Amino acid sequence: MGPGNDSREDWPPELRTVFERAITCEYVSLTRAGAPVTVPITPYLGNGTIDVSTGLAYPAKAERARRNPKVALLFADPIGAGTGEAPVVLLQGHAAVRDRNLQANTDRYVRASLTKLPGATRGQPKFLLRHLTFYYARIWVEVTPLRLRWWPDRDLAAAPREWRAATDVALPESDPAPSGSQPPAWLEPPQGWREVAMRALQTLPLADITAVDSDGYPVCVPVAAGGLAGDHVPLRVGAGAPELPAGPACLTAHGHDESFSGQENHTLVGTLEHGPEGPRLHVQRALADWSATGNRAQVALGFLAKGRRLSPRLKAEAARRGQPVPKINLS
């Protein structure tokens, strides 16, 4: 998996702990029209790559990267990571999608997620976990870093430090696309997106804005987002942030507890505009979100409800790839 040599040895040493210990990062892929879609996701170290995953039953995040391998990861969420005054890191890189061996993918995700996020499943019996195939059956996206920029904190007050990969770094291709058509979205976006936006902007601790740079790569940075004013959200971005070109953009507000036993994420998409009072996002709609809120019982019930909708899609998605539905193997 990944490049033939482990290029982690070339990464700035102060960033390795950030990549390894982050509970979430912002993962950005691009739609067919070139618009960014940003969602919080858990990263894992690969062989010269930083890897993220998506469920086999909801493969959109992977399929966007398979069509356009220009992606970004933003490491700016310190909650639960235990990294203290860790820097904020923007990674722009090349994605390779891995779904040639769904059982190996699933085995890796079970091992890695239970090790990294033990609080998320604490107290749940193994027989229950074995029935969560709709969640643990995975597609991996391996991201080879091409450009890293980092700042001391989310203020982005000064110009970043920067690292670039060697010009001859290996850029692996994705596994072949599966046959047939990608399944439709399984979650409906909220109809009253203004209500969702107002509450998310008021209550969630973290917000990030994503645009697309002149090279066609997503650029995602932390932002202080104001309250919704009509269809616009005013933004305050640090003076040391990279240029955020006007055009397609999205704003993601998110948060989770220290153990990652619950989470809430909302993404607003629209157009980034620059005016005399600074940048603002002209919101067009909110995307469907995967949030798990409330007490542990409410989170569990919500999770099982999602499973009832996702489980029927597993067999079809595995069949599109000519493979059986993976099994959950627990030691």
Q: Are 71 and 93 in contact (CB under 8 A)?
A: yes
Given the structure tokens 């090790």, which residue do they identify? 115
**The pLDDT value given to residue 189:** 81
Residue 1 CA: distances (Å) to CA of 43, 54, 124:
16, 17, 31
**The pLDDT value given to residue 303:** 66
* Integer Cα distance of 207 and 200 in angstroms: 9
**Options 3.40.50.300, 2.30.30.30, 2.60.40.10, 2.30.110.10; which CATH number does 7-320 get?**
2.30.110.10
- Alpha carbons within 13 A on the beta-carbon side of 310: 23
In sequence order, what are the residues at sequence separation of 6 or more whose Cβ sits closer than 8 angstroms to the Cβ of residue 238?
A: 151, 154, 155, 156, 157, 221, 222
CA dihedral 250, 134, 257, 117 (to 10 degrees): -120
**The pLDDT value given to residue 3:** 43
**The pLDDT value given to residue 183:** 85
Q: Are 217 and 244 in contact (CB under 8 A)?
A: no
**DSSP, res 198:** H
Per-residue pLDDT 10s for the chain (331 aa) are: 334 445 667 899 989 999 999 999 999 999 999 999 999 999 999 999 999 999 999 999 999 999 999 999 999 988 766 656 789 999 999 999 999 999 999 999 999 999 998 766 666 667 777 778 998 999 999 999 999 999 999 999 999 999 999 999 989 999 999 998 888 887 778 888 899 899 899 999 999 999 999 999 999 999 999 999 999 999 999 999 999 999 999 999 998 877 676 778 899 999 999 999 999 999 999 998 776 656 666 666 666 777 788 888 999 999 999 999 999 998 7
